[in-house]
Chain A
Amino acid sequence: MILLLQLSHFSAAALFALFFSVVFGITQRNTTNEMIRYGAYCFAVAMIGMFLAGWAMWLLHH
């Protein structure tokens, strides 16, 4: 593979959250407004969860 992508843990997880939030928003809701809101909700939950998990791991490590 010619293209190589080197992302940090944070970038990789954020990009992952972006992709799955869009697909979840489109497939799990019926109207456009609901899709946008649910996609944004999924993305926000993923990002907040990521921060919480990161701090939890930091606390366990120290």
Chain B
Amino acid sequence: MAKTETTTPAAQTASAPVALTPIAALAPAIAWLIPGAGHLIQKRWIRGLLLMACIVAMFVSGLAMEGKIYKPNTGDLLDILGFIGDLGSGALYILGRIFEWGGANITTAGADYGTKYIVVAGLLNIMAAVDAYHIAIGKKQ
């Protein structure tokens, strides 16, 4: 008995392999390095500027609250996760490490908030980079 085809055209499109175009490779990389730039190079001006403003403002607010920037470490699990989150900020993280921005220790509630701001800015930047990739491959307008 012949096997019938049950997949819908939409499902076939979703499972189809994605061609790795230069923009599909470049967009997430540049979006990680410079928040919002992945959208800007694809001419999503308002979205790109809003993402850039929010992520940069969040990172700077975190620093202004004396938040801590995590360094690579193999100690406490939360410290390792904090470093991974911070790394998501791309150039902001690199600049922060070069110029030794951020508080040394978390001693106040404000500094604790600041540390979370910096980590979440990195995580939001990763979301923005994934979104830029989805736009580049045509999955999103």
A residues with CB within 8 A of B: 1, 3-7, 9, 12, 15-16, 19-20, 22-24, 26-27, 30-31
Report Cα–Cα, A23/B50, bound state, in Å: 8
Does chain A have a CB within 8 A of B109? yes
B residues with CB within 8 A of A: 47, 50-51, 54-55, 57-58, 60-61, 63-66, 101-102, 109-110, 113-114, 116-117, 120-121, 124, 127-128, 130-131, 140-141
Q: Given the complex, which residues of A lie within 8 Å of B130, measured CB to CB?
A: 27
Tell me the minimal C-beta distance from A23 to chain B in angstroms: 4
| A30 with B54: CB separation less than 8 A | no
Tell me the minimal C-beta distance from B91 to chain A in angstroms: 17
Partner of B131, one of A4, A6, A27: A27
9 A-B pairs whose Cβ atoms sit less than 8 Å apart in the complex = A1-B64, A3-B60, A5-B65, A6-B65, A7-B113, A16-B113, A22-B51, A23-B128, A30-B140
Which residue of chain A is the closest to B125 with respect to CB atoms? Answer: A23
Which residue of chain A is the closest to B117 with respect to CB atoms? Answer: A16
Partner of A22, one of B50, B60, B117, B140: B50
Q: Given the complex, which residues of B lie within 8 Å of A30, measured CB to CB?
A: 140-141
Q: Given the complex, which residues of B lie within 8 Å of A5, measured CB to CB?
A: 61, 64-65, 110, 114
